[in-house]
Chain A
Amino acid sequence: MRAVIFFALLIAIQGVLAALLPHSIVAPDLFLLAALAVSTRLRPSLGLLAAYGIGLIQDVIGAGWFGFHALAIASAIYASYGARRFFSGNSWLNQATIVLVAVAIKWITYLLFDYWTRAGLMTSTALVSAFLPELLTTLLCAPLVHTFARWAFGNSSFLKDDRLL
């Protein structure tokens, strides 16, 4: 039940933030943060699939390409699994770096997809006006989502383990 509340609330807040914030402030990627929270509480393969599923939900809500956000979030989670191998402990700096890597990999996936589909969406203006603000807002919201996830799913047993892969 708590998990349902967690996902429902995150989807609702994502929708509200998009309409509430001024155009200069990009809303944080709560789907990515949800995927990060879920992936640390499942086995890596299941976590990766769960992240892909969360991305698919984002694709359905946004009525975009099937798999666009799904792969981007899955790539971010895959990279986060790799990054955790280089950190020990569960400090705030550790978590912030994981989020940073995840957001960066997500946007790199966007770039590759943009090339693959020839959509022409990823311009330098888009990178500056969307990537950096989203990175900042996502980093700011990460601790809150992390706390919310702890309420919804309990503590993550995988975070204690340095070597996940």
Chain B
Amino acid sequence: MISRLSMLFAVLIVVSLISTRFLPPIPLALSSAVAPVQQLLTRSAQNLRSAIASIIEDRRLRDENRDLRDHAAQLEEENRRLSNAVRQLEQALRVKREVSPGVVAIAGVTAIEPGALRSRMRIDKGYAENVRQLSVVTVPQGLVGVVWEVSQHEALVRTIIDPQSEIGVTIEHKGGRASARGVAGGRLRAEGFARDLQIKVGDIVLTLNAPGGVYPTIKVGVVSSVQPVAANALGQTVFIEPVVDFAELSEVFVLRPQ
């Protein structure tokens, strides 16, 4: 059996050696018969390969898209933060230019203490941030109040409409001086203007001499009503509508006591 198989193998060797050396390659006509099938298989495989590549690319693009979206969200957040910071600094600059150069801190309002009798707010800056008792608190629109109590990182501000608040005021372009106190209803009542001072509704009221030092004039409010002067009264009394909306405050500027 071994010799028969080996002989057969030897014959096949001879046949192959002769055919490969002396015979031409297989005619194309013979292989053309299977060419369409081969072509179909090759085309199918190429399509499958392209489909797989598309799926992989699609997944890669999806991941990249998600990463870019996350990155864009981060950049938007950063942009928002920077815009806020720029806005704060612009406001601080405005306060420095128009109100007082002595801005020591930009504080966030953390709480507004509700109550019909008092009007106070908490800010998130304290001793550590150079806030001191009787520091004036303001916003670009006008005067907010005065720091009443201070802790390390927090302070309590008594606003100008607090009944215990008292500030000196004057009328813009007209002069005069009076003492303004907060009254219920979110207004101030200024008493002591000269009887002959021509005060009208709409006149702008400025600070005169805030407690704790001499400050530049800061807008307090607008005259909302003028009380009729009684015959035996020493001076005029006016009511003042503050320019600042205390309920809407989110950040304030603390001035350095001079």
Which residues in A have some Cβ–Cβ distance to B below 8 Å? 12, 15-20, 44-45, 48-49, 52, 59-68, 70-71, 74-75, 78, 81, 113, 116-117, 165
Interface locus among B36-44, B54-62, B158-166: B36-44
Q: Are A63 and B49 in contact (CB under 8 A)?
A: no
Closest 3 A/B residue pairs (Cβ): A67-B16, A19-B45, A71-B16
Which residues in B have some Cβ–Cβ distance to A below 8 Å? 1-2, 4-5, 8-9, 12-13, 15-17, 19-21, 23, 25-26, 28, 30-31, 34, 37-38, 41-42, 44-46, 48-49
Q: Are A49 and B26 in contact (CB under 8 A)?
A: no
Q: Are A15 and B31 in contact (CB under 8 A)?
A: no
**Distance, CA A81 to CA B4, complexed state (A):** 13
Q: Which of A61, A67, A117 has the most CB of B within 10 A?
A: A67
State the majority secondary structure of interface residues on B.
Answer: helix
Q: Are A16 and B44 in contact (CB under 8 A)?
A: yes
Q: Are A116 and B21 in contact (CB under 8 A)?
A: yes
Q: Which of A19, A66, A74 contacts B41 (CB 8 A)?
A: A19
Q: Are B45 and A20 in contact (CB under 8 A)?
A: yes
B227 to chain A, nearest CB (A): 95
Q: Are B9 and A59 in contact (CB under 8 A)?
A: no
A residues within 8 A CB of B26?
59-60, 63-66
State the majority secondary structure of interface residues on A.
Answer: helix
B residues within 8 A CB of A18?
42, 45
Q: Which of A20, A60, A67 contacts B30 (CB 8 A)?
A: A60
Q: Are B41 and A12 in contact (CB under 8 A)?
A: yes
**Distance, CA A105 to CA B19, complexed state (A):** 20
A70 to chain B, nearest CB (A): 6
**Distance, CA A162 to CA B153, complexed state (A):** 93
**Contact (A74, B12) CB under 8 Å given A16-B44, A19-B49, A60-B34:** yes
**Contact (A67, B20) CB under 8 Å given A60-B26, A81-B5:** yes
Q: Are A61 and B34 in contact (CB under 8 A)?
A: yes
22 A-B pairs whose Cβ atoms sit less than 8 Å apart in the complex: A12-B37, A12-B41, A15-B37, A16-B41, A18-B42, A20-B46, A48-B5, A48-B8, A60-B26, A60-B30, A61-B31, A61-B34, A61-B38, A62-B31, A63-B26, A63-B30, A65-B20, A66-B19, A66-B23, A66-B25, A75-B9, A117-B21
B residues within 8 A CB of A68?
16, 20
**Distance, CA A71 to CA B21, complexed state (A):** 13
Q: Which of A74, A78, A113 contacts B20 (CB 8 A)?
A: A113
**Distance, CA A113 to CA B17, complexed state (A):** 8
B residues within 8 A CB of A60?
26, 30-31, 34
